[in-house]
Structure 1
Amino acid sequence: MIITKTAEEIELMRESALVVSRTLGMLAREVKPGVTTQALDKMAEEFIREQGAAPGFLGLYGCPSTLLTSVNEAVVHGLPTDKPLQEGDIVSIDCGAIKNEFYGDHAYTFEIGEVAPEVRKLLQVTKESLYVGIRQLKAGNRVGDVGYAIQQYCESHGYGVVRELVGHGLGKKLHEDPEMPNYGRRGRGKKLIEGMTVAIEPMINMGTHLVSQLADGWTIVTKDKKPSAHFEHNVAIVDGQPELLSTFAYVYEELGIESDEEDEFRKEKLVL
């Protein structure tokens, strides 16, 4: 059952989402060659708590960490380790937080130093596909419209779209209805309605769409060991249209990136 949110609840969810957005921004200046994902995890937990929130993943489903850090061929759900990041790596940092009883949950894939051009292209297309999907999150559309848009965009570039893992509804639980696959058929699936709040998160592989799970019971990797990228936003349907609750603006501020990609999904300019 889809749990719609009132305007007041959506504003509370925005606060939760922005806790995560600010945390990813803080991490953006710390992600560099030589740093370990365990160190990033500790920084994130402290920073989330300083904002009057609690880590959203820690302890949930037995998760032992605040962050899920997926390096190179790891798709998602990578556990932080003491292995230093290296020049040319990429790392998806997925972060959750709870504030006002609501979850925020989104992710960004970072480049470590200089990465190969083909890897940078994978990241670019994956992030672009996130917004391609968000544009379809309109009242009256179907879940399949979102997934179809993401799938067609990524497959047109020759990439593999992961099937086993999907986006999801978001609220007082981390995972609510509906599931939001990154593939699908137009006009199929549950109808999108006013007040829905979801996490849309393309997980896109450079090669095959096939994945497997490591022995740690968490980390999902590509079958062919080629890189994978992952970007995630929290979005509400407000006045029939998609409205971003999360932002990458804090990340971009730290990395010196200028972007207007989020502007069409906001009624007002975001003030950092």
Structure 2
Amino acid sequence: MKKLLSTLALIGATACALLVAPAQAAEGEFPLDRAPDNTENLVSLQHGAQLFVNYCLNCHSASLMRYNRLTDLGISQKEIEQNLLFTTDKVGSTMTIAMRPDDAKSWLGAAPPDLSVEERARGRDWLYTYLRSFYRDDTRPTGWNNAVFANVGMPHVLWQLQGQRAPVYEDAVNEETGEKTHQLVGFKQLTPGTLSPVDYDAAVADLVAYMTWMSEPAQQTRKRVGVWVLVFLGFLTFLAWRLNAAYWKDIK
């Protein structure tokens, strides 16, 4: 039986590896940077929420998120109404946009995805690297391309903050096949943005932190409650153990 379970576990692990490997190979050509974890920093989350509403909600929706949930980040309802409500007049409304999917598809080539749980689908590191990897490409309809998502239909909406950049390529030779490739290895700045490179990276980190929080607003509460539940279960287990010992000590 033990041998059978080990065999099944090995088969399952192999199957998962085969399923995951193609996805990693498809999106793993450009190395991903580690995203700072700002999900417990209210100032970062508030700044990220502001960036999200100002730059992302023009084309993307977040239909599983309501504006009034931003009060969990320390933003008052009055501040939400004055600074963050652009597409609706109701603070209890979901974060939707006026652009219709058919129009978005005809203008951009594909309807922009809903960002409610995009971080859970892509991963924090992927988003952090993606938003910092746009470069000028006159062959694309939008004039922009991305090192992480080649030939992406999305323009660089944060370009005024980051400035314009051009790709830097290097020739590389495959050791196994001897085939020469032209690989993108970095970027050079063409025009400066309103933010320095360090400040832009920090702003993207805040935006990604907010998208992480938005994908599961109760995540931090769940973790805190989970810790107390484990402590309680541990204490209960200790009491049960001592009670069992006391019950059986006089029984031989």
| TM-score normalized with structure 1 length | 0.29
Greater fraction of residues in strand: 1
| TM-score normalized with structure 2 length | 0.31
